[in-house]
A and B are shown apart, each in its own frame.
Chain A
Amino acid sequence: MVQRMLKSVVGIALACAFGGPAIAQDSKVADELAKYREALADGNPADLLEAKGEGLWAEKRGPKKASLEQCDMGLGPGKLEGAYAQLPRYFKDTGKVMDVESRLVHCMVTLQGFTQAEVTRQWFSKPGTESDIEALVTFIGAKSNGMKINVPATHPEEAKMAKMGEYIFYRRSGPQDFSCSICHGQEGKRIRLQELGNLTTKDGAGFAMKTWPSYRVSQGAVWTMQRRLIDCMRQARWPEPNYLADSIIALETYLQKTATGTVMETPGIKR
């Protein structure tokens, strides 16, 4: 045992000795990557979706021919400035902790008269098929741009959701032994060339949460936080949780609570 440990000490020392040129190469890669990301930042296709979402928000739609302008995202009917940054939160009228997407769907059902199935059928876009939800969430998110994430989770139901989110964050299973924490529980790591961030700290969670919703160039679409987290689970080779599942809202509550205080920069654009 001790011998094995010593062996790995030697291994580490050697790796450090060989670390010099790798670092030089790495910093050049990092510079060029920064250049790539900077070039994308000016001209974010999410802006196109934000404009579409703004139109959808105000348009009279559904069996009740109503707009969403009376939708209460937590700060009162129609008050969108800063609402995204304060979700998920507990809503008295439903007796549930809801995130931006579950609340939006709730409004489309109650105010506009759509059925839940109608509203969520296209909860994410595919090439050639647009998603109203993506557009609306991009618009609602942008109304919190520049504001601080603020999910203290002080209501007992919110506190419980945050705790349950923490449980899921560390829960390992599947054929790769994955959990959220194995990639997102340490400082300064990256997967391939993408920085991962330690989501258990304010800085790490803040860095991750502040840019969503985000246009993903690899997907050619804006991803909402539900999409982001459900896809993490797909990548873990688990089955997909249902859209708007409580376990996703719990994870969001945990992450937003941890990120609280970070200034939003949304919509973002990333790989």
Chain B
Amino acid sequence: MNNQRRTVLKSGSGAALLGMLAAAGIITPGMALANWNKAAFDAKSMADTLKALGAGAPADSKDVQVTGPDIAENGAVVPVGVATSLPNVSMVAILVEKNPNALAATFTLPADTEANVQTRIKMGQTSNIYALVKSGDKFFMATKEIKVTLGGCGG
């Protein structure tokens, strides 16, 4: 506790202290969190996930890119991203076809935020990764296979 506080304070940020207070329940965090989309994250299959996201059957688009390596050295950390040149993008999502629950993350993008987001996800095995993009009121999708390899001594 103390050491965390020290580190935070050393970085000289008042808002970090705010964070401490927020975490301690003294004040509420200064953010308006949306309701976590349980139905979408609990869905198993791609189709059910898309339905829960209200995306129906999105069209494939060449203007959407899944960024990431073809090969992951380990499935626990796979760097992936979504980028698109489509206009008026308000939401992007990353889905992993063969994970127990397909949906990994969704991002809501205000008007001034670029439609180019990167994160790191877990993959249980080699799978197709899908990038879902909402442009205007339409959904578009792109896919890429990422191979998850076994590594090291094997155990």
Supposing A59-B2, A271-B73 touch, asked if A235 and B68 sit within 8 A by C-beta, the answer is no
Mark out the residues of chain B between 138 and 153 whose CB falls within 8 Å of any chain A CB in the assembled complex.
149-153
In the bound assembly, the distance between CA atoms of A36 and B77 in angstroms comes to: 10
A58, A59, A271: the one contacting B152 at CB < 8 Å is A271
B71 to A52, Cβ gap below 8 A? no
- Of the listed stretches B3-11, B93-101, B104-112, chain A binds B3-11
Most buried by A among B7, B76, B155: B7
In the bound assembly, the distance between CA atoms of A56 and B2 in angstroms comes to: 9
Confirm or deny: B70 has a beta carbon within 8 angstroms of a beta carbon on chain A: yes
Contact with A along B61-86 (1 / 0, CB 8 A): 00000001111111011110000000
Supposing A32-B71, A217-B76 touch, asked if A192 and B6 sit within 8 A by C-beta, the answer is no
Supposing A39-B79, A59-B6 touch, asked if A218 and B74 sit within 8 A by C-beta, the answer is yes
In the bound assembly, the distance between CA atoms of A55 and B79 in angstroms comes to: 30
Nearest CB of B to A114, in Å: 15
Nearest CB of B to A236, in Å: 9
**Closest partner residue, chain A, to B147 (CB atom):** A32
In the complex, what residues of A have CB within 8 A of residue B74's CB?
217-218, 271
A33, A58, A217: the one contacting B71 at CB < 8 Å is A33
Instruction: Place the interface of chain A in its size category.
Output: 20 to 34
A217 to B77, Cβ gap below 8 A? yes
A36 to B79, Cβ gap below 8 A? yes
A35 to B6, Cβ gap below 8 A? no
Nearest CB of A to B150, in Å: 6
Confirm or deny: B12 has a beta carbon within 8 angstroms of a beta carbon on chain A: no
In the complex, what residues of A have CB within 8 A of residue B72's CB?
36
A192 to B69, Cβ gap below 8 A? no
In the complex, what residues of B have CB within 8 A of residue A33's CB?
69, 71, 73
In the complex, what residues of A have CB within 8 A of residue B30's CB?
none
Confirm or deny: A191 has a beta carbon within 8 angstroms of a beta carbon on chain B: yes
Supposing A52-B4, A55-B7 touch, asked if A218 and B71 sit within 8 A by C-beta, the answer is no
Nearest CB of A to B117, in Å: 14
Most buried by A among B4, B71, B120, B155: B71
B3 to A56, Cβ gap below 8 A? yes
In the bound assembly, the distance between CA atoms of A58 and B79 in angstroms comes to: 35
A39, A43, A58, A192: the one contacting B151 at CB < 8 Å is A192
Confirm or deny: B154 has a beta carbon within 8 angstroms of a beta carbon on chain A: yes
In the complex, what residues of A have CB within 8 A of residue B68's CB?
39
* Closest A-B pairs by Cβ, 5 of them: A55-B3, A39-B79, A217-B77, A55-B7, A36-B69
Instruction: Give 16 A-B pairs besides A52-B3, A194-B152, A218-B76 with Cβ atoms closer than 8 angstroms.
Output: A32-B70, A33-B69, A35-B69, A35-B70, A36-B69, A36-B72, A37-B73, A39-B79, A40-B79, A40-B120, A59-B3, A192-B150, A193-B149, A217-B73, A218-B151, A220-B76
Please list 9 pairs of residues, one from A and one from B, whose beta carbons are closer than 8 Å in the complex, sorted by A's number.
Answer: A28-B70, A35-B70, A55-B10, A56-B3, A193-B149, A193-B151, A194-B152, A217-B73, A218-B152
